[in-house]
Amino acid sequence: MHGKMMKDLKVLFVGDIIGEPGLRFFSNHIKHMREKYHIDATIVNGENVAKNGRGIIPSDMEQLKKLGVDVVTSGNHVWAKNNIHAYLESNTNLLRPANYPSSCPGKGVTVFSVNNMLVGVVSLQGRVFFRELTDCPFRTMQTILSYLRPQTNIIIVDFHAEATAEKQGLAFFLDGKVTAVLGTHSHVQTADERILPGGTAFISDIGMVGALNSMIGFKKESALRAMMTQMPHRFEVEDEGPFVLGGVVLTIDTETGMAKKIERIRFVADL
Ligand SMILES: [Fe+2]
Ligand SMILES: [Fe+2]
């Protein structure tokens, strides 16, 4: 590049934001976090950001946009609110998992521009322990790469999956071909973040934004009662602090598209 040093790109990726308390906690701290880590672009998983922790509505998207979020990924809960379907059809900043049938509203891939560079983002769902019979995530990624790679070598994949082995499998499958494979959906952060041999950043799960003393963001009492009685129950978002914000900061070599560093963020505070 004519000896011109290309500046690294720093991307913050934040895990599933759970309900109103999650969104409040995110909005209280995102500005400071972006400054602290010199963040160029912000991506969040928003499948639980609606008030009751299920799905996402257009006004949530507006709020996330105002908070400086560039792209919102999702997962199995993205369909929960009917009024998001039209939004998915007409906007590219909210993704649904790419491996749902093509007749579903929205897309699972987008490219956005930051510092005059293009960044590809993919939302993808796992198949192990999921009720939904989505297409094979591996073959779906092959197709997506043939579309994305001619445009950019900076590609960030949100793999919304349950099983760590499936997440590791996709990460090794994509090692050297994408910038990062970041796990979401379990809402529980794992400590296995690293750069794989081919240069792809990987973590099994980046965690969530929500109440710390909860079960994956929801009131523990009702979930526990359901486990002990096998009776159906209603999930209610836990709104009492302290809260946790889980995510990662990626430092990206913009010439190769590979990750130089993946730093795990786990921030806990009362408000
Ligand atoms: Fe979730
Ligand atoms: Fe999920």
Residue-wise pLDDT for 251-271, tens only, equals 999 999 999 999 999 999 999
Q: Residue 172's pLDDT band (boundaries 50, 70, 90)?
A: very high
* Catalytic residue from among 29, 77, 185, 187: 77
Give the lowest-confidence range in 64-68, 92-96, 194-198, 222-226. Answer: 222-226
Distance 179 CA to ligand 1 centre (A): 23
183 C-alpha to ligand 2 centroid (Å) = 11
Average pLDDT of the chain? 97
Answer whether residue 1 is part of any domain: no
Q: What is the pLDDT of residue 5?
A: 72
Asked if the structure places residue 271 within a domain, the reply is no
Q: Which one has a higher pLDDT value, 248 or 5?
A: 248
Distance 95 CA to ligand 2 centre (A): 13
Residues 193-231 have pLDDT tens digits of: 999 999 999 999 999 999 999 999 999 998 999 999 999
Ligand 2 mean position, distance from CA 121 (Å): 18
Position 36 in a domain:
yes
Q: Which ligand is nearest to the CA of 79?
A: 2
CA distances from 148 to 20, 141, 202 (A): 34, 10, 19
Domain membership of residue 252 as a residue range: 9-265
What is the arithmetic mean of pLDDT over 240-248? 98
219 located within any domain:
yes
Q: What is the number of structural domains in the chain? A: 1
**Cα separation of 76 and 27, whole Å?**
24
Closest CA to 161 of 147, 141, 146, 177: 141
Banded pLDDT at 20 (limits 50, 70, 90): very high
Instruction: Specify if 270 maps to a domain.
Output: no
3-state SS assignment for residue 124: strand
Q: Is 77 a catalytic residue?
A: yes
Structure tokens at 90: 């007409």
Q: Among all ligands shown, which has an atom nearest to the Cα of 76?
A: 2
Residue 144 resides in a domain: yes
What is the CATH number for 199?
3.60.21.10
Q: Is residue 137 part of a domain?
A: yes
In a domain, 248, yes or no: yes
